[in-house]
């Protein structure tokens, strides 16, 4: 499998950040509105799944999963839909909790989707009336958006939904596409009960999704009004994918449909123009399924709805964006995590396989087969119905794929500035350059993760449960976002700062020698009083060498070099810190004449963190004994 990575070979690369917003416009170059009209497949004839009444077709598609899907739906036959009170929305304003509202909302959607899946599987009408109850519940609900997003994007800037405005967020779009599939498959069955059910559902989809999508250009995720330095992230392909599904399933006027399809293309082009051409996902592997993965869903839907006539799956950038999830996999469910991403993951094997098939990537297909071997793909929730149906379609072929994967010696994203090295003794390290205004940003320029035999030794904590504070002006008051809780220094007692201007410069990578270096002085504010601070890494056969070479304008406070770790940590011996995690032992050596070492225990009460790391992690702080204008610090991490 290493041959797939050899295309990354370059002995010495000096990286520069790609200018954001390069006008590649892949989609618009493929078709204008006139071309779209020529190739559109109308009246839902593009749908590759059985009609509701085609029982043999559903039996073939569902295979051995049919009975489990039905049983899952049976759990919700008597489901009582949870009331979401006005005060549940207001709780977001009051305490910052988004879960008070989102948990019951998610439970209600899960119930509806499970009932729909069960009825499609069984086809006897047993679930129809419970589905109708769910559909009517959702039609009566003022908004399909979450409290966090009504508060952020409504004109009122309040959390309680405003009936005068539909907020097209991720939850809204997810509900809209689920109900569009429901209308497509079941509206004739609803009509047997009362035609008003389908009439109402179709009306709500029109006024909540189709009309607002066409009428508005100000929605931030569309990308039309993004200013220089602004971010277009996973919301763009995700929301556009939802919208495209709805239009293809509901709109049968060719002129209107062509305009809608073209608008989605112009918007998704802005996302593709914004992200780096090297394929790196600055949001991390946890977001890959919602960024590149949702881009794939969008492109696949566009492919189906135009009979394959509008497709950019052959663009190298699209393949690179897909392969990122493979290259970021360490093993045993661990992944390289920067920003808000979790260190646990691996990806959706069915999605990875389908994406790999579309872009002709053996790397992705063989990796998906590895994941499928470890944990066989089976149907999940029916809320994301397109993914569910596509997963079911791909399982027979995925099972035939040969599993093959080995960790590459190096992976380098020259524009995103992610760098991974491994050696034959089971050591794996990941670092990054970049800047401190990336999507889901942490102030983490030149941070490090280090693994021994797929066990994390020096870690990136990730992020806790999202609250109002997470995406507000208070974001960097949260410890997980701060550079002083990453594996990088505080210079003159000052941490890195948020902003596009705070970045790595003079980034150098030598893939053959497995070295990475960057001047990180430019990631710190003026009060750090730093002229140059070059952080470098060299991965040898048995150790990792970390070196800081610096010059300061003046000395204000002792420098402090921090490392985050977990497991059993011992600092009792001067000059060495021992770390023992899950059978792996490491020694972090430092100059005892240069540093005093201390350890901070960080209790993890948030389950989003404790489910990964356990009840606590530790911050090692090496504080300089002398304050000098110039100097060099060297740290070595070795296996014991």
List the domain boundaries for the chain: 417-639
Burial class (CB in 10 A: 0-12, 13-18, 19+), 344: middle
Average pLDDT over every residue of 17-23: 55
| pLDDT value at residue 522 | 98
Q: Are 38 and 444 spatial neighbours (Cβ–Cβ below 8 Å)?
A: no
**What is the token pair recorded at 125?**
């009408």
- Kindly indicate the confidence band of residue 403, based on its pLDDT and cuts at 50, 70 and 90: very high
pLDDT in tens, 204-246: 999 999 999 999 999 999 999 998 888 899 999 999 999 999 9
Q: Residue 366 in contact with residue 403, Cβ under 8 Å?
A: yes
The reply to whether CATH 2.70.98.70 applies to domain 417-639 is yes
According to DSSP, the residues that pair with 552 across neighbouring strands are: 530
Under the banding of pLDDT at 50, 70 and 90, the label for residue 113 is very high
Measure the CA–CA gap between 89 and 98, rounded to whole angstroms: 8
Evaluate whether 326 touches 352 at the Cβ level (below 8 Å). yes
CB 136 within 8 A of CB 181: no
Q: Token digits for 71?
A: 């049983």
pLDDT tens track for 308-358:
999 999 999 999 999 999 999 999 999 999 999 999 987 899 999 999 999
Cβ pair 281, 287 in contact under 8 A: yes
Per-residue pLDDT for 3 more than 80?
A: no
Checking if the pLDDT of 12 tops 50, the result is: no
Q: What is the pLDDT of residue 21?
A: 58
Residue 425: other Cβ atoms inside 10 A: 12
Nearest to 374 by CA among 336, 348, 396, 341: 348
- Judged by DSSP in three states, 237 sits in helix
Statement: residue 119 has pLDDT above 70: yes
Q: How far apart are CA 410 and CA 422, in angstroms?
A: 6
How high is the pLDDT of residue 345? 86
CA–CA separation, 537 vs 548, rounded Å?
Answer: 9
Q: For residue 541, what pLDDT is reported?
A: 95
- CA nearest neighbour of 242 among 170, 144, 153, 311: 170
Assess whether pLDDT exceeds 90 at residue 19.
no
Query: Tokens in use for 467?
Result: 């609250």
CA distance 250 to 252: 6
Residue 535 CA to residue 140 CA, distance in Å, equals: 57
What is the token pair recorded at 291? 């960024």
Q: In DSSP terms, which residues pair with 600 in a beta bridge?
A: 619
Two tokens, residue 569? 């940590």
Residue 494: pLDDT over 70: yes
Report pLDDT digits (tens) over 561-611: 999 999 999 999 999 999 999 999 999 999 999 999 999 999 999 999 999
CA distances from residue 50 to 43, 185, 245, 246, 345 in whole angstroms, order as listed: 15, 9, 17, 18, 33
β-partners of residue 535 are 518, 548
Segment 459-464 shows an average pLDDT of 96
Place 360 in a pLDDT band, splitting at 50, 70 and 90: very high
Q: Coil, strand or helix: which one is 600?
A: strand
Tell me what pLDDT residue 406 has. 87
Q: What is the mean pLDDT of residues 20-29?
A: 86
**Which H or E run contains 38?**
helix 33-39
Give the residues across from 623 on adjacent strands. 560, 596
- The answer to whether the Cα torsion of 295, 256, 139, 72 is positive or negative is negative
Which distant-in-sequence residues (6+ apart) come within 8 Å of 1 by Cβ? 363, 366, 404, 405, 406, 408
- DSSP-assigned beta bridge partners for residue 421: 410, 429
pLDDT higher than threshold 60 for residue 10: no
Q: Which of 315, 294, 203 has the alpha carbon at shortest distance from 244?
A: 294
pLDDT reported for residue 627 = 96
What is the distance between the alpha carbons of residues 615 and 600, in angstroms, rounded to a whole number?
14
How far apart (Å, rounded) are the C-alpha atoms in residues 211 and 230? Answer: 27
Average pLDDT, the chain: 95
Instruction: Please tell me the predicted confidence (pLDDT) of residue 297.
Output: 98
**Is 42:261 a contact under the CB 8 Å cutoff?**
no
| % of residues, the chain, pLDDT over 70 | 97
In 99-206, alpha helices (H): 99-122, 128-140, 147-153, 170-193, 195-205
The two tokens of residue 372 are 């499928």
CA dist., res. 120 & res. 108, Å (int): 19
- Return the pLDDT at 2: 38
175-184, 374-383, 393-402, 486-495, range with the lowest pLDDT: 374-383
Residues 150 and 155: their CA atoms lie apart, in Å, by 9
Task: Report d(CA 564, CA 460) in Å as an integer.
Answer: 7
Which residue, chain included where needed, has tokens 């705070």?
502
């Amino acid at each position: 499998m290493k041959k797939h990575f050899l295309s990354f070979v370059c002995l010495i690369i000096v990286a520069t950040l790609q200018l954001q917003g390069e006008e590649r416009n892949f989609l618009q170059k493929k078709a204008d509105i006139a071309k779209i009209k020529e190739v559109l497949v109308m009246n839902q004839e593009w749908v590759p799944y059985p009609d509701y009444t085609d029982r043999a077709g559903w039996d073939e598609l569902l295979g051995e999963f049919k009975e489990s899907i039905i049983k899952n739906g049976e759990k919700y036959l008597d489901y009582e839909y949870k009331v979401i009170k006005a005060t549940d929305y207001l709780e977001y304003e009051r305490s910052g909790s988004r879960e008070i509202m989102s948990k019951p909302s998610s439970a209600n959607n899960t119930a509806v989707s499970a009932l729909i899946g069960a009825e499609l599987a069984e086809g006897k009408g047993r679930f129809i009336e419970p589905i109708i109850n769910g559909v009517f519940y959702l039609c009566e609900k003022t908004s399909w958006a979450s409290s966090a997003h009504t508060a952020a994007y409504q004109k009122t800037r309040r959390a309680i939904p405003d009936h005068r405005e539909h907020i097209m967020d991720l939850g809204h779009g997810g509900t809209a596409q689920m109900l569009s599939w429901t209308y497509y498959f079941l509206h004739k069955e609803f009509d047997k009960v009362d035609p008003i059910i389908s009439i109402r559902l179709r009306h709500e989809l029109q006024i909540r999704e189709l009309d607002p999508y066409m009428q508005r250009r100000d929605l931030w995720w569309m990308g039309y009004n993004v200013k220089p330095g602004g971010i277009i992230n996973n919301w763009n392909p995700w929301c556009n994918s939802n919208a495209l599904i709805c239009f293809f399933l509901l709109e049968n006027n060719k002129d209107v449909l062509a305009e809608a399809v073209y608008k989605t293309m112009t918007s998704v082009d802005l996302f593709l123009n914004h992200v780096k051409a090297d394929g790196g996902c600055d949001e991390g592997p946890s977001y890959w399924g919602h960024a590149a993965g949702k881009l794939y869903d969008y492109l696949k839907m566009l492919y189906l709805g135009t009979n394959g006539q509008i497709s950019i799956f052959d663009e190298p950038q699209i393949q690179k964006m897909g392969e990122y999830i493979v290259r970021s996999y360490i093993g045993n469910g661990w992944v390289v995590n920067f920003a808000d991403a979790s260190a646990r993951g691996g990806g959706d094997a069915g999605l990875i396989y389908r994406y790999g098939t579309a872009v002709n990537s053996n790397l992705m297909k063989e990796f998906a087969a590895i994941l499928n071997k470890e944990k066989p793909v089976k149907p999940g929730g029916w809320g994301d119905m397109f993914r569910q149906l596509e997963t079911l379609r791909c399982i027979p072929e995925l099972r035939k794929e040969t599993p093959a994967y080995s960790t590459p010696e190096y992976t380098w994203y020259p524009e995103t500035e992610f760098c991974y090295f491994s050696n034959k003794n089971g050591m794996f390290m990941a670092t990054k350059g970049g800047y401190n205004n990336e999507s889901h940003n942490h102030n983490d320029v030149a941070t490090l993760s280090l693994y021994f035999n797929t066990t994390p030794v020096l870690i990136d904590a990730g992020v806790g449960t999202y609250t109002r504070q997470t995406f507000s002006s208070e974001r960097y008051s949260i410890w997980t976002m701060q550079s002083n809780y990453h594996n990088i220094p505080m210079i003159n007692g000052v941490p890195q700062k948020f902003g596009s201007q705070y970045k790595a410069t003079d980034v150098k990578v030598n893939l053959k020698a497995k070295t990475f270096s960057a001047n990180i002085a430019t990631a710190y504010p003026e009060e750090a009083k730093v002229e140059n601070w070059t952080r470098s890494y060299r991965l040898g056969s048995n150790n990792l060498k970390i070196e800081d070479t610096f010059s300061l304008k003046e000395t204000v406070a002792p420098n402090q070099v921090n490392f985050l770790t977990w497991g059993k940590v011992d600092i009792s011996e001067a000059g060495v810190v021992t770390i023992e995690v899950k059978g792996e032992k490491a020694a972090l050596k430092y100059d005892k004449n240069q540093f005093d070492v201390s350890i901070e225990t960080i209790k993890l009460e948030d389950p989003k963190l404790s489910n990964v790391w356990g009840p606590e992690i530790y911050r090692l702080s090496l504080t300089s004994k002398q304050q000098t204008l110039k100097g060099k610090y060297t740290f070595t991490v070795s296996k014991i």
